[in-house]
Amino acid sequence: MTMATEMRVYLRLPSRILFDGSAVRLRGEAPNGSFGILPNHVDLVTPLVSSVLLIAQADGTERIFGIDEGLLVKKGHRVEVAVRRAVETDDLDGMRDIVRDSFAGLEDEERAARAALSRLEADMVRRFASLRKAQG
């Protein structure tokens, strides 16, 4: 591995990529505590807990993400972060409210989707049972 001053970071959600860019530093939180990664950090895989993910870019910009639990994989100069839910904000002080509001809306959507799936499964079971009665 060559020495590098930047690494490529991808923050992926199930439906889209929230961040795709170069970074000089990343800070996250695993179940055993917070950690930092620089471009030449040793390769690693670690689970992430619901927390704040900070990505520092070469121009001095610091991107702040509130993330749900997920997984981080660093290999070479590439960092892949996969999380279920995440939001970006400039307001670290208001992050708790932003995350709560955003994640609550997603939880309502997930709950509605699970209820619809349960209804479809129950309907399918009823139809199979009626087919079995018709054959028997």
Taking the C-alpha atoms of residue 91 and residue 114, their distance in angstroms, rounded to an integer, is: 33
pLDDT exceeds 70 at position 105: no
Quick one: pLDDT band at residue 115, thresholds 50, 70, 90? confident
Mean predicted confidence (pLDDT) in 116-123: 81
Q: Is the whole model's pTM more than 0.75, yes or no?
A: no
Residue pair 10/70 in contact by the 8 Å Cβ criterion = no
The secondary structure element, H or E, covering residue 121 is helix 95-135
Quick one: pLDDT band at residue 122, thresholds 50, 70, 90? confident
Q: So what's the pLDDT on residue 93? A: 66
- Give per-residue pLDDT as tens, 36-92: 999 999 999 999 998 889 999 999 999 999 888 899 999 999 999 999 888 888 766
Q: So what's the pLDDT on residue 117? A: 78
**Which backbone phi and psi does 96 adopt, to 5 degrees?**
-55, -45
Taking the C-alpha atoms of residue 66 and residue 101, their distance in angstroms, rounded to an integer, is: 12
Quick one: pLDDT band at residue 30, thresholds 50, 70, 90? very high
